[in-house]
Chain A
Amino acid sequence: ILNVEQSPQSLHVQEGDSTNFTCSFPSSNFYALHWYRWETAKSPEALFVMTLNGDEKKKGRISATLNTKEGYSYLYIKGSQPEDSATYLCAFTSGGSYIPTFGRGTSLIVHP
């Protein structure tokens, strides 16, 4: 059973704050790491797919980094807005099975 851990479990920030979360995954047999945003009452939405060690991806105020050697990825949100409130999920896929293993998610609430 692959262990994918996300921290923190939940986060409350004020509008304008910058924040970051961590996704930890097995450092062996890496294939891909996905980040998703899941707003309440909506479907999970893909943010990034990362495949290479050292990858950095950016979409607007959100960015992500990847370290496959040590088994972690960071998701950063710059200048959080209330509309960023959502659960952020990461999913690790190993080269052995290609089956994604999701973390429990980080619940972000941005207060106006």
Chain B
Amino acid sequence: DAGVTQSPTHLIKTRGQHVTLRCSPISGHKSVSWYQQVLGQGPQFIFQYYEKEERGRGNFPDRFSARQFPNYSSELNVNALLLGDSALYLCASSSQGSEQYFGPGTRLTVT
């Protein structure tokens, strides 16, 4: 069975642009969470979705948004990119209440 997959693996964008990152959870998992990991820091929670509804939101500006689709895959959108948005974006899926399984991440570089 495939693990959590994320696309793309790497991405370079310019300040002010918009980006969409994608995540496919493990089959049967209905919960998806997004994290931002900046070099030297631990992953920071951005969003959690369960059954297509937002269940949690971290301390990120409104430029960050996400959604979950009927097949439980998810997209993270970031508008008006800033240099500080450069980071590794991790997606994790879980069954309700169980441990999280992480994807390999998308490395976003904003120039």
Chain A residues near B (Cβ < 8 Å): 1, 4, 6, 34, 36, 42-46, 49, 89, 91, 97-105
Contacts and interface: CB of A to CB of B under 8 A. Distances in A.
A93 to B, nearest CB: 10
Contacts of B100: 34, 46
Interface string B30-49: 00000100001111110010
Given A97-B56, A99-B48, A43 B103 contact: yes
B102 A105 contact: no
B3 A105 contact: no
Interface of B: 3-4, 35, 40-45, 48, 56, 58-59, 90, 99-105
B104 A43 contact: yes
Q: Which of A42, A99, A101 has the most CB of B within 10 A?
A: A99
A4 B56 contact: no
Given A43-B3, A99-B58, A4 B105 contact: no
Given A34-B99, A99-B56, A102-B35, 10 more contacts: A4-B42, A34-B100, A36-B102, A43-B90, A44-B43, A46-B99, A46-B101, A49-B99, A91-B43, A97-B56
Contacts of B41: 104
Nearest to B4: A43
Contact of A103 (B3, B4, B42, B104): B42
Q: Which of B43, B56, B90, B103 has the most CB of A within 10 A?
A: B43
A49 B4 CA distance: 20
17 contacts: A36-B102, A42-B104, A43-B3, A43-B4, A43-B90, A43-B102, A43-B103, A43-B105, A45-B102, A49-B99, A89-B42, A89-B43, A97-B56, A99-B48, A100-B45, A102-B43, A105-B42
